[in-house]
Amino acid sequence: MLDKTTNLASLLKDPGLLVERAYIGGAWVEGADGRFDVTNPARGDVIAQVADVSRAQVAEAISAAEAAQPGWAAMTGKERAGVMRKWYDLMIENAEDLALILTAEMGKPLAEARGEIAYGASYIEFFGEEAKRIYGETIPGHLRNTRLMVLKQPIGVVGAITPWNFPNAMIARKVAPALAAGCSFLSRPAAETPLSALAMAVLAERAGVPAGVFNVLPSTSASEVGKEFCENPAVRKLTFTGSTEVGRILLRQAADQVMKCSMELGGNAPFIVFDDADLDAAVEGAMMCKFRNNGQTCVCANRIYVQDGVYDAFAAKLAEAVRALKVGDGLEDGTEAGPLISDKAVEKVREHLADAEAKGGSVVVGGNPHDLGGTFWEPTLVTGVTQEMKVAREETFGPLAPLFRFKDEDEVIAMANDTIFGLASYFYAKDLSRVYKVAEALEYGIVGVNTGIISTELGPFGGIKQSGMGREGSHLGIEDYLEMKYVCLSV
Ligand SMILES: NC(=O)C1=CN([C@@H]2O[C@H](COP(=O)(O)OP(=O)(O)OC[C@H]3O[C@@H](n4cnc5c(N)ncnc54)[C@H](OP(=O)(O)O)[C@@H]3O)[C@@H](O)[C@H]2O)C=CC1
Ligand SMILES: O=C(O)[C@H](O)CS(=O)(=O)O
């Protein structure tokens, strides 16, 4: 456990993975703006003081990335694949330390942190292999002496801004296709969770990723970093995961350079249980989908719709499962729900709960700050929820499961689609015609059918509407880091 006497380094097999300096152009440097505290959300203790880079240092890093990119792109895909495989191997060899660092700074249960490390590493492995498969095309010419070709080339220098909820995987999901394509990469991790990104850089350096190809820029001024990424002409692409609100700001800023952007933004996932569902499977799926990372993921079930005929049975089963969740310090064995990331996150849960109760909702389980204090909250189940409540329109991002009733397919499809978001959606049903009809009717980038977990490096993860643009993962995911060149050859 971490406390005022036991520091994080003492828990690690390799304390060299715990770095507090920024990584720019292959050098470990202090921040021109001093250092900032990183705290353990479970106990509030300061676990590190990390370099706070200035906008001028971001510009230096961009120059380093610009200088390094041609050499990295000139390597063959197979050569890049070899370096990325070594990076993957090192992430797996050091997985336990990476998981401890992740839980220490973000708070999620160690078991989930181990899962995230494996998940993040899987992108490095997958896209390392894809580096060998960046195919172009030849097209029969329109004239007898003409040949047409399509070349795929790296977009160039990539700026990335990522959130605290998956401090390893959200970076891996971006840096992997970028490096595989031959791009260079600048990572600005969330100020709450920079240590995981810095540990990734330690292993990248050991794996032989050339200086300047991967840079990590911890900073307390996200907006300054974002502006430098959007305004610096050497940056060719911006990739962001976070709120739709910040996504809008970045898109506006990127518009001046007509910069290519990938945006993985907020969600408001419906989780629908039809009367022909396997109820036990649906409860298990709802628990994983709602309470993974304590509800702090963009693909968590934000609204749970249950058809009238099975509503009471499902609610009773779900209540029993919610009550059984073990809340605690993420470093404690058996913990299933850790602290929320901040007081601001707790306030959002409290606000959504109060609004639901004020408009007729009933708290069946939980509903209060947890006895552990700090940012711990009791896993909460509310029934009698309606579309008029805030929880139906805004992303709660916490351990609050709201149950809505519905009569039939048409009603629930209309309610599920009644949102500006379109990232993930889920439903449980057995009837084949219902499965096809509902999967096609849901306006989301992702549909989970009879499952509450859709995340894999093999699938194209991403949203529609105001949940963003672009896809991360699958063979399709590398396209976001490539430019297409049409060559018209007269021979
Ligand atoms: N799609 C997803 O996976 C995620 C969605 N969210 C949604 O966002 C809500 C708020 O969470 P929060 O963490 O505050 O998300 P934010 O969108 O505010 O933060 C995400 C990242 O963007 C950075 N950032 C914030 N403002 C700017 C800016 N003006 N320019 C450039 N970068 C910026 C943050 O830096 P810093 O942290 O240092 O301020 C962080 O690294 C959540 O409740 C949830 O609804 C949040 C996280 C992930
Ligand atoms: O941003 C998130 O919440 C993650 O993308 C969710 S997942 O990919 O880990 O499922």
Which domains can be identified in the chain, with CATH numbers? 8-265+467-488 (3.40.605.10), 270-449 (3.40.309.10)
| Both structure tokens of 317 | 């089963």
Q: Which amino acid is at 151?
A: L
* Residue entry with tokens 């499902």: 314
* Residue 117 Cβ < 6 Å to ligand 1: no
SS3 457: coil
Residue 5: predicted pLDDT = 61
User: How much is the average pLDDT of 142-163?
Assistant: 98
> Is the CB of residue 151 less than 8 Å from the CB of residue 485?
yes
Determine the distance separating the centroid of ligand 2 and the alpha carbon of 267, expressed in angstroms. 10
Q: What's the longest Cα–Cα distance across the chain? A: 79
d(CA 267, CA 459): 18
User: Chain-centre distance of CA 23, in angstroms?
Assistant: 22
Residue 393: predicted pLDDT = 97
pLDDT digits (tens, 9 = 90+) for 207-229: 999 999 999 999 999 999 999 99
* Residue 397 Cβ < 6 Å to ligand 1: yes
Q: Count CA within 13 A, CB hemisphere, residue 48.
A: 28
Q: Return the residue whose CA atom lies nearest to atom 46 of ligand 1.
A: 242
Q: Which amino acid is at 126?
A: F
d(CA 385, CA 402): 6
> What single-letter DSSP state applies at residue 47?
E
SS3 310: helix
Q: Which ligand is nearest to the CA of 190?
A: 1
Ligand 2 pocket, residues with Cβ under 6 angstroms: 165-166, 169-170, 241, 297-299, 455, 461
Write 360-369 long-range contacts (CB < 8 A, 24+): 360/384, 360/386, 361/385, 361/386, 361/389, 361/402, 364/315, 364/319, 365/319, 365/322, 365/323, 366/322, 366/399
pLDDT digits (tens, 9 = 90+) for 13-54: 999 999 999 999 999 999 999 999 999 999 999 999 999 999
Q: Which ligand is nearest to the CA of 426?
A: 2
Angle in degrees, 0-180, between the axes of helices 77-93 and 95-106, rounded to the nearest 10 = 70
Determine the distance separating the centroid of ligand 2 and the alpha carbon of 173, expressed in angstroms. 10
| Both structure tokens of 237 | 């692409």
d(CA 83, CA 388): 52
* Residue 125 Cβ < 6 Å to ligand 1: no
d(CA 77, CA 153): 11
SS3 38: strand
User: How much is the average pLDDT of 107-112?
Assistant: 98
Which residues make beta-bridge pairs with 48? Answer: 38
Active site residue 264: yes
Q: For the residues of 314-347, what is the DSSP string, one character each?
A: HHHHHHHHHHH--B--TTSTT--B---S-HHHHH
| Both structure tokens of 118 | 């494996």
Q: Which amino acid is at 295?
A: G
| Both structure tokens of 282 | 């649906």
Q: Which of 39, 188, 246 to mutate to test the pocket of ligand 1 (most atoms within 8 A of CB)?
A: 246
* Residue 302 Cβ < 6 Å to ligand 1: no
Q: Where are the beta strands (DSSP E) in 222-300?
A: 235-241, 260-264, 269-273
Return the closest-CA partner of residue 264 out of 162, 183, 196. Answer: 162
Q: Which of 33, 39, 105, 161 to mutate to test the pocket of ligand 1 (most atoms within 8 A of CB)?
A: 161
Q: Which ligand is nearest to the CA of 228?
A: 1
pLDDT at 1 over 90: no
Residues in contact with 206: Cβ distance below 8 Å, sequence separation at least 6, in sequence order: 90
Catalytic residue among 116, 192, 264, 395: 264
What value, to the nearest 5°, has the Cα angle with vertex 65 and ends 59 and 68? 145
Question: ipTM, 2 decimals?
Answer: 0.94
Separation in Å, CA 238 to CA 60, 152, 155, 156, 479: 17, 19, 11, 11, 14
User: Chain-centre distance of CA 148, in angstroms?
Assistant: 39
Return the closest-CA partner of residue 86 out of 169, 217, 210, 218. Answer: 210
pLDDT digits (tens, 9 = 90+) for 404-444: 999 999 999 999 999 999 999 999 999 999 999 999 999 99
Determine the distance separating the centroid of ligand 2 and the alpha carbon of 166, expressed in angstroms. 7
What phi and psi, each to the nearest 5 degrees, are found at residue 314?
Answer: -65, -45
pLDDT digits (tens, 9 = 90+) for 47-81: 999 999 999 999 999 999 999 999 999 999 999 99
pLDDT-derived band at 244 (thresholds 50, 70, 90) equals very high
SS3 22: strand
Q: Which ligand is nearest to the CA of 289?
A: 2
Q: Which of 122, 165, 426 to mutate to test the pocket of ligand 2 (most atoms within 8 A of CB)?
A: 165
Q: Return the residue whose CA atom lies nearest to atom 32 of ligand 1.
A: 222
Residue 2: predicted pLDDT = 72
User: How much is the average pLDDT of 359-380?
Assistant: 98
Q: For the residues of 161-224, what is the DSSP string, one character each?
A: E--SSSTTHHHHHHHHHHHHHT-EEEEE--TT--HHHHHHHHHHHHHTPPTTTEEE---S-HHH
> Is the CB of residue 158 less than 8 Å from the CB of residue 458?
no
Separation in Å, CA 454 to CA 12, 264, 298, 487: 31, 15, 12, 39
What phi and psi, each to the nearest 5 degrees, are found at residue 422?
Answer: -160, 50
SS3 154: strand
Mean pLDDT of the chain: 98
Q: Return the residue whose CA atom lies nearest to atom 9 of ligand 2.
A: 455
Residue 4: predicted pLDDT = 59
d(CA 133, CA 314): 46
Query: Which parts of 359-476 fold into alpha helices (H)?
Result: 409-417, 432-441
Q: Which amino acid is at 213?
A: V
d(CA 50, CA 191): 9
What value, to the nearest 5°, has the Cα angle with vertex 166 and ends 288 and 215? 160
